């Protein structure tokens, strides 16, 4: 079973092979997210550009990801390196929230580096999507 994005059929990640969950767009987002290697990150905008969609639509699809952490939505951050949202929540006005603490911890555990304040990821976003 595969999902066709543009002209390329992509192999489905294991959780999607046996589950009918998600709209075709959500499944496409989840397939791309599955390609981001541990220790790397990408952005909502890069996924959106690949899918010819919008970063907000990508974020909404990730918010509905029932397969985390196997489909690692924590590896997707906002353009500029801020964490964005996690588990359907966005940062409070002060830029923090308990779910963002969890997202930061997951990324750090995988080896993603942060600035001195721990507010933004450092490095080049993954863009090697099939």
Residues belonging to the active site: 73
Q: Read off φ and ψ for residue 5, nearest 5 degrees.
A: -115, 125
What letters, b where the CB count within 10 A reaches 16 and e where it falls short, cover 53-78?
bebebbbbbbeebebbeebbbbbbbb
| SS3 state of residue 13 | coil
Give the pairing of strands 42-43 and 76-77. parallel
d(CA 8, CA 104): 33
């Amino acid at each position: 079973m595969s999902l066709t994005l543009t002209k390329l059929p992509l192999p489905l990640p294991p959780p999607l092979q046996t589950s009918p969950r998600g709209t075709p767009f959500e499944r496409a987002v989840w397939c791309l997210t599955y390609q981001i290697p541990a220790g790397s990150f990408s952005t909502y905008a890069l996924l959106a550009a690949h899918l010819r969609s919008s970063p907000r639509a990508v974020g909404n699809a990730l918010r509905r990801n029932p397969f985390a952490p196997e489909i690692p939505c924590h590896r997707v951050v906002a353009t500029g390196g801020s964490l964005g949202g996690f588990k359907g929540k966005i940062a409070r006005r002060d830029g923090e929230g308990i779910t963002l603490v969890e997202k930061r911890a997951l990324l750090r555990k995988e080896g993603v580096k942060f600035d001195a304040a721990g507010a933004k990821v450092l490095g080049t976003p993954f863009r090697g999507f099939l």
